[in-house]
């Protein structure tokens, strides 16, 4: 297993196809976001590599789909065991590859990656199907669920192994084989997991991982006629391309996309708890989570107090070297992404927005080796119109905007006033109000008086431009299987 000390310049990754590592002719540079230096070469795969992976997955499908759910669950549990046994190596690698803090990788990413396998190993054993008796016709009807075939899985760079395993686990638990493409910016932990496949008892071809870019490897996967199903997490723009590309094949699609998530804070909220949680929901993982809060609406009577306390708390949210356990945030994923996030802040400032802390206000004190890294401090903005790009578009950085409101109707209307509908949070002690507002908000997930509390059994996904379909215990089971109705005349 790879030790962190071995993750040095010129680490060269290979594709994993048919149970073997396969080298690639072309490579892409991958950067350590905390230093700005190239430290890894990732395969720049295309049609040839994707075709080989799909062929391997297709060959493995008959045998894997014929295994019992328990046999498949045993393999998933073994994979979870092996990830947990190498926990610290995975933690170090994820932090270095993505820029997130070592603490976040250790407490969130890697434990959840292992748990995804455990959860679906258990979940797949407990589904039931439907049955109905038509006595007058002398017929018994029942349903069965069959795996679909080769699943194409495309995962993003913000929670690399966490979101890759969130797709692989239900796909293989239900008897499919997979060709997965992680983000070319964060491929190392997926490659490390491939080294565990044989020991976990994953038959060759059941899990294939092809590294590369969206336009090349992703496009070849989405447009492959032998891949009937695509599960994608990423940007709404890329999802539009996937939808167009897969339309001629009538593929089954699951699309988990961006968010522009509001927090609505009423005057009767528990302010201390609310501020502590909303700072976390705004800035966790450098704000690079689709569920992060980026618009905060505060009832006018408490607006001044909230703003003062929130800015003070945001200033204490430390940004710096990912390996320093005292830091809350590490580096953003890339130079291009940092520049994009900064451009949103600059545009807000030019529109008359007030930047209370963070970008352009607070200077970061970084260690020498991190001075060229892609860092941005937690940034709080007020005085911005709801029509501003920073209030309408997904920024995906440590930036949040705060605005006052007067009535519940206004808060709901403004909360819904974007093209996205992934998540929202509501803060109030009034039980009737939280139920009422939660029902009216156009969001796939609404948290009241908390954030990111997840039961993996329940549906996860968004409305409007935030996606198509849901993921979770039952939803993933339904997505990764086809239902068949059988009628028996007796």
| E strand or H helix at 400 | strand 399-405
Q: Which two tokens stand for residue 36?
A: 């700005």
Rounded CA gap, 400 and 245, in Å? 34
Rounded CA gap, 289 and 391, in Å? 17
Kindly report the number of other CB atoms within 10 A of residue 309's CB atom: 17
Q: Which two tokens stand for residue 97?
A: 């590859």
Kindly report the number of other CB atoms within 10 A of residue 164's CB atom: 27
Percent helix, strand and coil across the chain, each to the nearest 5 = 40, 25, 35
Report the candidate in 204, 209, 176, 181 with the shortest Cα–Cα distance to residue 193. 209
> With helix as H, strand as E and coil as C, how does 146-195 read?
EECCEEEEECCCCCHHHHHHHHHHHHHHCCCEEEEECCCCCCHHHHHHHC
Residues in the chain, total: 490
Report the candidate in 87, 95, 105, 91 with the shortest Cα–Cα distance to residue 196. 87
317 secondary structure, DSSP code: S
| E strand or H helix at 209 | strand 207-209
Q: Measure CA 49 to chain center.
A: 25
Tell me, yes or no, if 256 is annotated catalytic: yes
Rounded CA gap, 254 and 466, in Å? 11
Q: Could you tell me which residues come within 8 angstroms of residue 69 by beta carbon, excluding any fewer than 6 positions away?
A: 124, 125, 173
Q: Could you tell me which residues come within 8 angstroms of residue 409 by beta carbon, excluding any fewer than 6 positions away?
A: none
* The one catalytic residue among 49, 184, 256, 471: 256
Rounded CA gap, 317 and 335, in Å? 22
Q: Using the structure block, give the residue that is written with the tokens 């988990």.
A: 256
Report the candidate in 303, 302, 312, 295 with the shortest Cα–Cα distance to residue 384. 295
Rounded CA gap, 421 and 464, in Å? 6
The dihedral of CA 405, 411, 414, 418: what is its sign? positive
What amino acid positions are annotated as catalytic residues? 256
């Amino acid at each position: 297993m790879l030790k962190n000390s071995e993750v040095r310049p010129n680490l060269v990754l290979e594709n994993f196809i048919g149970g073997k590592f396969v080298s690639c002719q072309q490579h892409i540079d991958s950067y350590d976001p905390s230093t700005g230096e190239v430290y890894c070469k990732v395969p720049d795969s295309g049609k040839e590599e994707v075709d080989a992976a799909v062929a391997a997955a297709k060959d493995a499908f008959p045998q894997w789909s014929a295994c019992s759910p328990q046999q498949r669950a045993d393999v998933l549990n073994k994979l979870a065991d092996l990830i947990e046994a190498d926990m610290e190596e995975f933690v170090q690698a994820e932090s270095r590859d993505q820029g997130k803090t070592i603490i976040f990788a250790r407490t969130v990413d890697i434990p959840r990656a292992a748990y995804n396998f455990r959860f679906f190993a258990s979940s797949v054993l407990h589904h039931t199907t439907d049955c109905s008796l038509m006595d007058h016709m002398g017929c018994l009807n029942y349903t069965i669920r069959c795996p679909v075939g080769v699943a194409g899985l495309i995962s993003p760079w913000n929670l690399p192994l966490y979101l890759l395993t969130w797709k692989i686990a239900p796909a293989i638990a239900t008897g499919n084989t997979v060709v997965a493409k992680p983000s070319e910016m964060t491929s190392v932990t997926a490659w490390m997991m491939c080294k565990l496949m044989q020991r976990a008892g994953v038959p060759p071809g059941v899990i294939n991982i092809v590294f590369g870019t969206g336009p090349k490897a992703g496009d070849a996967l989405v447009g492959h006629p032998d891949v009937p199903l695509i599960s994608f997490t990423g940007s709404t723009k890329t999802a539009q391309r996937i939808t167009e590309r897969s339309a001629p094949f009538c593929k089954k699609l699951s699309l988990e996309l961006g968010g522009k998530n509001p927090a609505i804070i009423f005057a009767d909220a528990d302010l201390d708890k609310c501020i502590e949680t909303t700072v976390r929901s705004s800035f966790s993982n450098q704000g690079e989570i689709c569920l992060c809060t980026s618009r905060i609406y505060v009832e006018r009577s408490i607006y001044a107090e909230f703003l003062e306390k929130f800015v003070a708390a945001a200033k204490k949210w430390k940004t710096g070297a990912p390996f320093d356990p005292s830091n809350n945030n590490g580096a953003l994923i890339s130079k291009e992404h940092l520049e994009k996030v900064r451009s949103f802040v600059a545009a807000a400032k030019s529109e008359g927005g007030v930047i209370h802390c963070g970008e352009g206000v607070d200077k970061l004190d970084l260690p020498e080796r991190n001075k060229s890294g892609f860092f941005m401090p937690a940034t709080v903005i007020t005085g911005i119109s709801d029509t501003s790009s920073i209030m309408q578009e997904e920024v995906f950085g440590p930036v949040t905007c705060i605005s006052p409101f007067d009535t519940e109707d206004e808060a709901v209307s403004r909360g819904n006033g974007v093209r996205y509908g992934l998540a929202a949070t509501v803060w109030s002690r009034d039980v009737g109000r939280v139920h009422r507002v939660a029902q009216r908000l156009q969001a796939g997930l609404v948290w009241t008086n908390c954030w990111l509390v997840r039961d993996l059994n329940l549906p996860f996904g968004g409305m409007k431009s935030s996606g198509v379909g849901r993921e979770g215990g039952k939803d993933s089971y339904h997505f990764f299987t086809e239902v068949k109705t059988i009628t028996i005349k007796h």
